[in-house]
Amino acid sequence: MSFAQEPAYRHGQPPLTGVLLCNLGTPDAPTAPALRRYLAQFLSDPRVVEIPRWLWKIILHGIILRVRPAKSAAKYASIWTAEGSPLRVWTDKQAKLLQGYLGERGHRVKVAAAMRYGQPSVAAQLDALKAAGATRVLVLPLYPQYSGTTTASVIDAVGDWARRVRTLPELRFVNHYHDHPMYIDALARRISQYWMDHGRPDRLLLSFHGVPQRTLTLGDPYHCECHKTARLLADRLGLRPDQWVITFQSRFGKAPWLQPYTEPTLIELGRSGVERVDVACPGFVSDCIETLEEIAMEGRQAFLGAGGKDFHYIPCLNDQHEWIAALSALSEQHLAGWPTRETPDVGALERQRERARALGATN
């Protein structure tokens, strides 16, 4: 095994702690070639697709990567902004804001944002943190609910990087925060503020990203954690059981996934006479293709086409103050015990005391 070139060691350098925010990922551009590169990396992850490698390789390269990139590129083009991919834009903003919030609380940390698939990669950002002098790194996936398909995959990526590094920083991982009070409060504040401006719906639909049904039977806690988030949020909003419903979106392939599915539920609500439905996506902390295109566009069309009258998509947490405050509190909780506070200059403090004593003696 060959190791990566280590940055020069600097004696006497004060310890620096890094915080690495990790999101799922995004293509570099809304084009078929960019989507082909992105999907090839994403769908080659054995955490994401758990079928025999030899069979999946044939399906992926023989069918999916020939057909899906162009279709996906058109969807990305419909939500792309002047700044780039919404997921990348919001994740970068969250990292910058978290840096400021922690700095205001006296922490000397460097916050970086990485993508599990696409750029900037987990490995590249860990290299950058190490080059900046980080001797400790907190890895904070932007997935509130734990799943082997997401959170564990980030840990895999960190492990892959660690295998080629000679001098490793201390590492900590945040596995989940699906029931963290400040996360739930941030979600509730986002929804209640939206309702203050736009009125309340007949039904609130809480849509989470779907995963195959077999992950639940194999022991993945994702399904249970999504339900707990939804239940706590509904309680926090003071909703009755008949005023909200939980669903799962983004089904891929023919195998059964977690149910109920989002789009069929929207169609059923529209056909049953529900006039207004609001949709929020608590598992996504940044607006992205799954929320802006799949829900706000396709979901709207499905509900209105089934007879619904009024469809509202409630934006993700994005750069909301309460959400960044929750991220800050979560980071502080997991940074506990590491020397992140600025080290006081003992000599300077003593000189200040001497000046104060001298002034006192002359007055």
In order of their start, the domains of the chain are 16-178+320-335 (3.40.50.1400), 181-313 (3.40.50.1400)
Check whether 17 has a pLDDT greater than 50: yes
Angle (CA) 105 108 109, round 5°: 105
Spatial separation of the C-alpha atoms in residues 127 and 168, rounded to whole Å: 11
Q: Which phi and psi angles does 101 have, rounded to 5°?
A: -60, -45
pLDDT at position 15: 78
pLDDT tens track for 50-84: 999 999 999 999 999 999 999 999 999 999 999 99
**Mean of pLDDT values over 112-139:** 97
pLDDT at position 167: 93
pLDDT at position 145: 98
Cβ-in-10-Å burial (0-12, 13-18, 19+) of 91 comes to buried
Cβ within 8 Å of residue 298, ≥6 positions away: 263
Q: Which residues are annotated as a binding site?
A: 209, 290
pLDDT tens track for 279-316: 999 999 999 999 999 999 999 999 999 999 999 999 99
Check whether 30 has a pLDDT greater than 80: yes
Q: Which residues pair with 107 in a beta bridge?
A: 341
Spatial separation of the C-alpha atoms in residues 263 and 279, rounded to whole Å: 11
Spatial separation of the C-alpha atoms in residues 176 and 174, rounded to whole Å: 6
Check whether 110 has a pLDDT greater than 80: yes
Residues 192 and 200: beta-carbon distance below 8 Å: no
Q: How many CB atoms lie within 10 A of CB 153?
A: 22
More confident residue, 13 or 305: 305
pLDDT at position 11: 63
Check whether 348 has a pLDDT greater than 70: no
Check whether 357 has a pLDDT greater than 80: no
pLDDT tens track for 327-342: 999 999 999 999 998 6
Q: Which residues are annotated as a binding site for Fe(2+)?
A: 209, 290
Nearest to 176 by CA among 124, 221, 115, 207: 221
State the residue for tokens 């608590």: 282
pLDDT at position 182: 98
Spatial separation of the C-alpha atoms in residues 233 and 29, rounded to whole Å: 35
pLDDT at position 349: 47
pLDDT tens track for 202-257: 999 999 999 999 999 999 999 999 999 999 999 999 999 999 999 999 988 888 99
C-alpha to C-alpha distances, 285 to 25, 171, 187, 323, nearest whole angstrom? 13, 23, 9, 9
Q: How many CB atoms lie within 10 A of CB 8?
A: 6
**Mean of pLDDT values over 167-192:** 98
For strands 244-249 and 276-280, give the pairing.
unpaired
pLDDT at position 341: 85
pLDDT at position 345: 44
